[in-house]
Amino acid sequence: MDDELNRFVIYMSAERNFSPLTIDLYKREISEFGAFLRRQGLTAWAQADRPVARNYLAWLASQGIAKGSLARRVAEVRSFYQFMLREGILAVNPLAALHAPKTEKLLPEFLTVEETVALLTTPDVSKPDGLRDRAILELLYASGMRVSEIMGLNMGDVSPAQGEALVWGKGSKERIVLVGKPALLALDNYLREGRPRLLGKRQCSAIFINRLGGPLNQRSVQRLLEEASAAAGLTKHVTPHTLRHTFATHMLDGGADLRVVQELLGHANVSTTQIYTHVTQSHARRVYLNTHPMARAGRPADSTGEK
C-alpha cells in the first residue's frame, strides 16, 4: 500500500505542482485512511468500499474532526483512488460513489477600513524588522496576495513604476497583481533602510528576510498578524488570509467588477470569488438593520400617532 501512495506523492509534486505543505497533508491523511483499513483486516486499497469508507468517516467524526476537515479527507482519498484508476493500479474505483458530508458555508471574516488602518500602523518603523513588517502588512492588504505568494517574492519581482508584482500562485501559475502607492512606499522604505540592515554582508534573493538574512517563513508572518492584531486592539482572529478576504471585500464594496477581483486574487473559477458578494450583501444588511429607522420592529409612530 505504501508503494501506491508514494507514486501518488511523486505525481502531485512532478505533474500537479502541489506545494510541499499540501503534499505532506495529503500523504499524512491518506496514510491515516490506510492505517484504518489495516485495522479492519484489509491489506490493499482495492479492498476498501463505500461502507468501509463511511465507517472511517464516522470514526473520524467520533474523534472530533470537523465537517470541513472530513470533506477535505474525502476529496483527498477520492483524488488518490482516481489516480490509481488512471494508472491501472485499480480496475474499478470502489469509492466513486463516496460523497463528503454537507458542510455549512461560513462567510470569510474581514476587517473594516478602520480596523485595517489600525492593524497596518502597528509595526515600529524605527527598526529594520518593523519596516519589513509594515511592508508585509501593506502588501497583503493592497494586493490580496496569499502569504505564500508574498514569501515567494524575489528582488526584481515588484515594479514600482508600474505598480505591479509578478507572483507564482497555486499550481505554479504566474500572474500579475496590482500594488497601491502606500504599499509601494512601505516596500521602498524597507528595501532602502530595513532590508540592508537585516541582510548585512550575506546574500539572499528573497525580498522578505529574517534577522539572520535568510528567507522569512510563513509562520513568522502568521505570528506577525497575531501580534499586530493584539497591538491594534482587535477582537477578531486575524490571519494573513483575513487581509486577502478584506482586500476582496473592500474592492467589491467600492464597486469593482467581480471578474476583475477574480483575476487579481488568482481564482481559477469565479464561483470561488462569488463568496465575497455574499459577504458584502451580509454586511450591507447588518448596516441597514442597525441604522435605518424604519427597518426595525417597533418603528416610531408617524405624525398621526398610528404605528
The residues carrying an active-site annotation are 146, 170, 241, 244, 267, 276
Give Dmax over CA atoms of the chain in angstroms.
82
The amino acid at residue 282 is S
From the list 62, 61, 52, 59, the residue with the least C-alpha distance to 98 is 52
3-state DSSP assignment of residue 66: coil
Residue 128 one-letter amino acid: P
Count of CB atoms situated within 10 Å of the CB of 81 = 25
**What is the SS3 assignment for 123?**
coil
Q: Residue 287 to residues 105, 107, 122, 137, 280: CA-CA distances in angstroms?
A: 22, 17, 28, 27, 10
CA dist., res. 197 & res. 177, Å (int): 28
